[in-house]
Structures are given as structure tokens and as C-alpha cells.
Amino acid sequence: MLLLNASGCLDALTAADTARSLDAFVTKTVTPEPREGSAPVRIAETEFGMLNAIGLANLGRDRFVAETLPEIARVVGRPVWVSVGGFCVQDYVETCEQLARDDVACIELNLSCPNVDEAPESASEIVAACREVAATPLYAKLSPHAWDIGETVRAIEAAGADGISLVNTLRGVALDARLRPTLARVTGGYSGPALKPVALAAVYAARRVTGLPIVGMGGVQTGRDALEMIACGATHVALGTVLFADPDAPTRVRTELSDEATRAGFATPASAYGAALESVAKMAN
Amino acid sequence: MSRSARERRSVVAVEPVGPYALVRVERGRIDPGTPGQFFMLEAPGRVLPRPMSLCLAPRGELAFLLDPVGPGTQALAELEPGDAINVFGPLGNGFRLDVPRPLLVGGGVGIAPLPYLSEALEHPPAILGFRSAHHAEAAALLPNAEVVIDPVFVTEVLPAGRDVLACGPEPMLEAVRALAPEAQLAWEAPMACGYGACYGCVVEIDGELKRLCVEGPVLCSS
């Protein structure tokens, strides 16, 4: 089991210690052109989570590959996963070509940012096109909005993905005291504790249809949350919003995870893998 | 540069200062940092901590002035002595202190970093603006302060030829900047993390987006 950060929730260059406390570091999403991102206000706390509308602010892939990536690899000293975003299939393909480098351990295709317009092609078309050019392991990060996530996961596996990342944020709106949208972009990605049951359902549904590795994320704040992801079939677990409140979360969650596994009657966290699906299967028999 | 740390600290007291609350926590080994730097304070029951600049650093303590207007600041204002919260800091860039003729300018709860700054600069003159006499009770936190109350604005009594160090609402900072282009200004924005992770706290300054937590919160406008 690898403990990762969710893309967008950590900058290794301003928080190297936190990045080094993970098993692998996932970059913010890189797009073909530089993006300044959304106008402020970009974040809003809600009762049980938060909204963000950062808008994939990044320097663009040329500067990312030339400047940011080597610096991240040097500072982190851990495998680096690069999150790739785009607005059409060609965007993804060309960035994947540029990322055929020793310092990229994995490419996570961000197919689900709620804060930018989606590419017109389907997730599986993008994965298939990237697979043709990329020898690097390819993960597809999906939205929790899909009604039948199993169907999407099957198509993505057939297109040649090496793994699935579940889930991105849910689209949401927050209003201020005078009932105006808090975020300048009006809608944002909803994350935090409220997202956990949604993420567990998505991981569970995906695990029922695929043997591919799954990175489970969404509302993981504690070792118990991480253990629940594993029980629903996550191979790896990523931390998102919790990193904003607690830069020491990776170390804490790892410690809690072992204790929580014991408490739930499992020798190790890994032995709880798929436990939720097995218990359902047993009941069915 | 001061090294930031995240540690659990006991609340010593929460004192009313006019409509505001002064939250005093045990300092332990936490570095108070330079004036204008800030700390992320855990707001009990909330998902995100709240950024607060250090107001005062009495012996063995860190003190933060806040206006309990939202759920996070209200949770902080309702802390009881002995409660413990996570304190993470100091963060960001504070004021440059190498100024020959300092003048502190503050508005409302934006005066928060000025008492600690005043101490560091050996109590230079200050001009503080408030919306009411009740709010103006907070002026007692720093000596040598001239107080103006709405409808009088700080910019109406701002002398020329001083090195201005200011913190307050955005319109006040913009007005101060128009009169004193070299001023050091402490800005504010909603923040999720405080350490450069979320990219949430950008503000547009001179057409450029700045991440306040790592490039600010104190920015020199020229």
C-alpha cells in the first residue's frame, strides 16, 4: 500500500517535509499552456468540507518539464507521479510524450477536474490515445459524478490503463451571508470529510469490476478512513483536504492505520484489503 | 528565517477587547516569528484552520486578535482556558523592520499585527481607524496611537514623509497605497492551508496573482 497526496493538495516546493513523508508525491495538474487559474475568491469552507476553484493554476508543460519537475524530483527524493490535464485528447497525448522521463514514476490523467471545461472525448478514448505513446504507468482519475462508475472503469481498463484514481471532487456551490456565491467562479470542487462515503462507494463499485490497482481518496482524514478505503478495495490511499489542516497527516495516518487494523481484527492494514466486498459475498452465499 | 512548527497548545485565556477577542495560548517552544507573520489556528469543529497574525507575544504566550464573525472565529472566541488547539507557524513574510521613520496604520481587526510590530519598532506613532467607539477600544493594545472613527478615514490624517506599515480592509490598503506608494501592506484572503499547498489565497496585486501565504501576507506595493 502506498500513501500518496491527492493531486492539487500539496506543493512539494513549499512543503518538502510533508512531501517526503509520503510514499510517492503527486504533482498539481500540468496543462499544455500556462494557466493563471481562477480569480479569487478560490476557496470556501462549508459545514463538512470545503470548496475549491483553483482552476488548474500551473506554469504549463514546457516550464514544468524544464524547471519544476527536476526540482520536485530533487527535493522529494521519492517517486513522482505527474497529474496531466487537458482540453482535448491531443493535449493529453502530447504531454504524455513529454513526460517519458526517468523522473516520472507514473502519469495520472486528470479526467475529472470540476473547475475547467471537460475534453469532448470520453475518458477511455483519452486513455487509449495516451497508452499508444506512453510506456510510463498510466492511472486515470475519475469523477464521482458518474452514475455507473463500473462501466467507465471497464472501458478504461480495456483502453490500457494501469490503474484508477478515485475520486476527484464533487461539484458544489457555497453562498455568503448575503446569499451571493462565495467563489468567484460560482462552482467549485467539494472535498473533505463529507466526500468519504461517496469515495468509498466509487472504490467499492470499481473493485467489483476490475483487478487494477486503485488509489482511494476523498475525505480520508484518519487511519480508520484509510482502512475503510482499503476494505472497499483500494490498493493505495491518497490524502487531500486533510493536508491543508495538518501537514503532518501522512505520518499520523500511517501510525493510526496499523492500530485501526488491529482494532478491526486484522493483522495488518493489507490483510483488510477487500474485506467489505468479501463480507457481502459471504452474506450472498 | 523562523522555523515553523505545528504543535498542540493550551489556551491561557480569551479576553474581550471591544467587540473583538484576544485569544492567548501557551507559547512553548514555538517561535513567535517577525511581526506580520501569521499562524494557522485550529478552529474546533471546523474542517480548516484559520490564519491569524500574531498580535502580541507576552512572556510564554502567543496572543491573537480576532473578530468573531464567522463559524471559525466564533469557535476560537468560545475557547475556554485549558482547551487545547493546534497552532502552526510562524508562516509567510512579515514586515521589514529596517525603516527610518515608521508609521503604523491599521483599520478594524486589521490592527491585529500592529501591537507586536509596535513593540519591535519601539512604539512608533500609529493611526488606527474603527467603525465605532466600541471597536476603537482595541486601540488600547498599542501605545502612541491616534484613533479615527468612521466617517473619518485613516487616509484623512495620514502625514507625508513616513514609512508606512499598514494592515486593514482591502479598500483601506488601496487608499493608503495611493498616498504612500512605498508602503508595506499586510493583505488578507481566505486560506485553506497557510503553507503554499492549496493555491487558494491568491490576491490580485497590480494585475498579478500572488499567493499570500508564501509571497505575503506583507507585500511592498512598489
B140 shares contact with chain A (CB less than 8 Å): no
B15 shares contact with chain A (CB less than 8 Å): no
Looking only at the bridges linking them, the beta strands covering B184-186 and B218-220 are antiparallel
Q: What is the mean predicted confidence (pLDDT) over A222-226?
A: 98
Q: Which residues, at least 6 apart from A157, have a Cβ–Cβ distance to it below 8 Å?
A: A164, A210, A212
Q: Please, are residues B111 and B128 in contact by the beta-carbon 8 Å criterion?
A: yes
Provide residues of A within 8 Å CB-CB of chain B. Answer: 8-11, 13-15, 18, 28, 36-37, 39-46, 48-50, 52, 54, 57, 192-193, 241, 243-248
B196 shares contact with chain A (CB less than 8 Å): yes
A253 pLDDT higher than 80? yes
The percentage of residues in chain A with a pLDDT greater than 90, rounded to a whole number, is 91
What is the C-alpha separation between B155 and B177, in angstroms, rounded? 10
B46 pLDDT higher than 70? yes
Confidence at B92, pLDDT banded by 50, 70, 90: very high
To test the contact with chain A by mutation, choose from B199, B204, B208, B214 the residue with the greatest count of A C-beta atoms within 10 A, namely B199
Confidence at A284, pLDDT banded by 50, 70, 90: confident
Q: What is the mean predicted confidence (pLDDT) over A51-61?
A: 94
Q: What is the mean predicted confidence (pLDDT) over B212-217?
A: 94
The percentage of residues in chain B with a pLDDT greater than 70, rounded to a whole number, is 98
pLDDT at residue B220, as a whole number? 83
Number of alpha carbons in the 13 Å side-chain half-sphere of residue A144 = 25
B175, B181, B185, B191 alpha-carbon torsion, rounded to 10°: 80
Q: Around Cβ B100, how many Cβ atoms within 10 Å?
A: 6
Instruction: Given the residues A96, A113, A130, A232, select the one marked as catalytic.
Output: A113
What is the C-alpha separation between B111 and A76, in angstroms, rounded? 39
The percentage of residues in chain B with a pLDDT greater than 90, rounded to a whole number, is 90
Q: What is the ipTM of this complex?
A: 0.92
Instruction: Identify which of B5, B57, B49 has the alpha carbon closest to the alpha carbon of residue B29.
Output: B5
Chain segment B181-212, per-residue pLDDT in tens: 999 999 998 999 999 999 999 887 777 778 99
pLDDT at residue A170, as a whole number? 95
Q: Which residue of A has its CA nearest to B43?
A: A245
Query: Is the Cβ pair A245, B209 closer than 8 Å?
Result: no
Chain segment B114-173, per-residue pLDDT in tens: 999 999 999 999 999 999 999 999 999 999 999 999 999 999 899 999 999 999 999 999
A273 pLDDT higher than 70? yes
Contacts of B201 in chain A (CB under 8 A): 40, 42-43
Contacts of A11 in chain B (CB under 8 A): 196-197, 199
A36 pLDDT higher than 70? yes
Per DSSP, the three-state class of A162 is coil
What DSSP line would sit under B152-181, residue for residue?
S-GGGGPPSS-EEEEES-HHHHHHHHHH-T
A183 pLDDT higher than 90? yes
- Quick check: is A113 catalytic? yes
Q: Which residue of A has its CA nearest to B192?
A: A244
Q: Which residues, at least 6 apart from A225, have a Cβ–Cβ distance to it below 8 Å?
A: A196, A219, A253
Instruction: Identify which of B176, B133, B143 has the alpha carbon closest to the alpha carbon of residue B157.
Output: B176
Number of alpha carbons in the 13 Å side-chain half-sphere of residue B77 = 16
Calculate Rg over the CA atoms of chain A: 18
Q: Around Cβ B220, how many Cβ atoms within 10 Å?
A: 12
B2 pLDDT higher than 90? no
Q: Is the peptide bond before A247 cis (omega within 30 degrees of 0)?
A: no
Q: Among A224-228, A273-277, B162-166, B187-191, which is the least confidently predicted range?
A: B187-191
pLDDT at residue A219, as a whole number? 98
Instruction: Identify which of B140, B113, B10 has the alpha carbon closest to the alpha carbon of residue B55.
Output: B113
Q: What is the mean predicted confidence (pLDDT) over A25-36?
A: 96
To test the contact with chain B by mutation, choose from A5, A11, A58, A225 the residue with the greatest count of B C-beta atoms within 10 A, namely A11
| CB nearest B197 (choices: A11, A40, A49) | A11
Q: What is the mean predicted confidence (pLDDT) over B44-64?
A: 97
Looking only at the bridges linking them, the beta strands covering A80-84 and B20-26 are unpaired
The DSSP code for B87 is E
The percentage of residues in chain A with a pLDDT greater than 70, rounded to a whole number, is 98
A124 pLDDT higher than 80? yes
Alpha-carbon distances, residue A209 vs A165, A199, A214, A228, A235 (angstroms):
14, 16, 12, 19, 14
Considering the entire predicted model, what is its pTM? 0.94
Instruction: Cell 475568491: give the residue.
Output: A41
A120 pLDDT higher than 90? no
Residue A30 CA, chain-centre distance (Å), reads 14
B222 pLDDT higher than 60? no
pLDDT at residue B205, as a whole number? 76
Number of alpha carbons in the 13 Å side-chain half-sphere of residue A125 = 8
pLDDT at residue A26, as a whole number? 98
pLDDT at residue A282, as a whole number? 83
Average pLDDT over chain A reads: 95
B221 pLDDT higher than 70? no
What is the C-alpha separation between A236 and A229, in angstroms, rounded? 8
- Please tell me the distance in Å from B161's CA to the nearest CA on chain A: 34
Query: Is the Cβ pair A244, B48 closer than 8 Å?
Result: yes
What is the C-alpha separation between B5 and B197, in angstroms, rounded? 16
pLDDT at residue B3, as a whole number? 76
What is the C-alpha separation between B169 and B27, in angstroms, rounded? 28
Q: Which three cell numbers stand for residue B85?
A: 488547539
